[in-house]
Amino acid sequence: MIEAKSVSKAFGEKEVLSNLSFSLDEGEILGIYGKSGVGKTTLAKILCGLVPMDEGEIRMDGKTLFTPTSPYDRELGRGIQMVYQHPYASLDPNQKIRSSISELIKYHGLAKGKEETEALILKVLSEVNLDEGILSHLPRQISGGEAQRVALARCLLMKPTLLIMDEATSMLDVMVQANVFELVKKSVIDKGGSILLISHDRELVDYVADRILDLEKNWAG
Ligand SMILES: Nc1ncnc2c1ncn2[C@@H]1O[C@H](COP(=O)(O)OP(=O)(O)OP(=O)(O)O)[C@@H](O)[C@H]1O
Ligand SMILES: [Mg+2]
């Protein structure tokens, strides 16, 4: 369903991705593995249209999502959601967690009225193994692992067809991590979506992913 063809990207003189190709099927978890600085986040940002690539093509469901010369098809790309490597970056520091979730629900018309909104908030919190006490807190009052799960919950609300998780569970201990992956699989994979799991943790990638793309072996730098 998503296909990257001969993607290259350089920052100035520094070539980060060189002629990289891969595809990702429905219901599949593809692990992107590689050490720090190898270009994992750069690749994720390219797929979301946040960083332009120099050469290549990204296709989705048999159509061009974008190339360096044709603009990102926002309609087609709507199903792509990314959990950022730095979880606090996606949260407004002055907004309580409840309102950061309910605002998203309201903006995208995901529930009708107060009761349905509240029910949806509780459902998505349980999908990431958080309890409702977190809702009255500000981002600075929650832990890194909790912030990662709030960021993940916000992505899950959008029912992604491709969920990109960039080191998205790095602050969770192994047990919670395993639990979150079970829940994420239920809400994304079981519904025909797919996951790009980015991590420098080889054990995690081996354990969770169906297939692994080792960026170090494809490394340009
Ligand atoms: N906007 C930018 N301008 C210049 N160089 C950049 C930019 N973004 C990334 N780079 C460089 O590209 C390389 C790859 O960065 P990237 O963030 O993709 O690595 P990563 O594999 O995600 O690393 P980590 O595991 O530490 O998150 C790094 O050397 C980085 O310094
Ligand atoms: Mg990174």
Quick one: what percent of the chain has pLDDT higher than 90? 92
For ligand 2, the distance from its centroid to the CA atom of residue 139, given in whole angstroms, is 21
What mean pLDDT, rounded, does the chain reach? 94
* 221, pLDDT greater than 60: no
Tens-place pLDDT, residues 77-105: 999 999 999 989 889 999 999 999 999 99
Q: What is the pTM of this model?
A: 0.94
Nearest CA to ligand 1 atom 25: 36
Mutate to test the pocket of ligand 1, among 9, 17, 38 (most ligand atoms within 8 A of CB): 38
CA-based end-to-end distance of the chain? 29
Can you give the pLDDT at residue 130? 95
Determine the Cα–Cα distance for residues 213 and 117; give it in Å rounded to an integer.
39
Determine the Cα–Cα distance for residues 118 and 121; give it in Å rounded to an integer.
5
Average pLDDT over residues 106-128: 96
The token pair at 12 is 């100035």
Alpha helices in 108-217 (DSSP H): 113-127, 144-157, 174-187, 202-208
Nearest CA to ligand 1 atom 16: 39
Quick one: what percent of the chain has pLDDT higher than 70? 98
Alpha helices in the chain (DSSP H): 40-47, 97-107, 113-127, 144-157, 174-187, 202-208
Neighbours of 127 (CB within 10 A): 19
Name residues whose C-beta falls within 8 Å of residue 41's C-beta, 6 or more positions apart in sequence: 85, 166, 198
Domains and CATH numbers, the chain: 2-214 (3.40.50.300)
51 Cα nearest atom in ligand 1: 1
Can you give the pLDDT at residue 127? 92
Average pLDDT over residues 201-215: 94
What is the β-pairing status of strands 2-11 and 162-166? unpaired
Confidence class for position 1, pLDDT limits 50, 70, 90 = confident
* 218, pLDDT greater than 70: no
Can you give the pLDDT at residue 219? 59
User: If we measure between CA atoms, which residue out of 153, 87, 103 comes closest to residue 123?
Assistant: 153
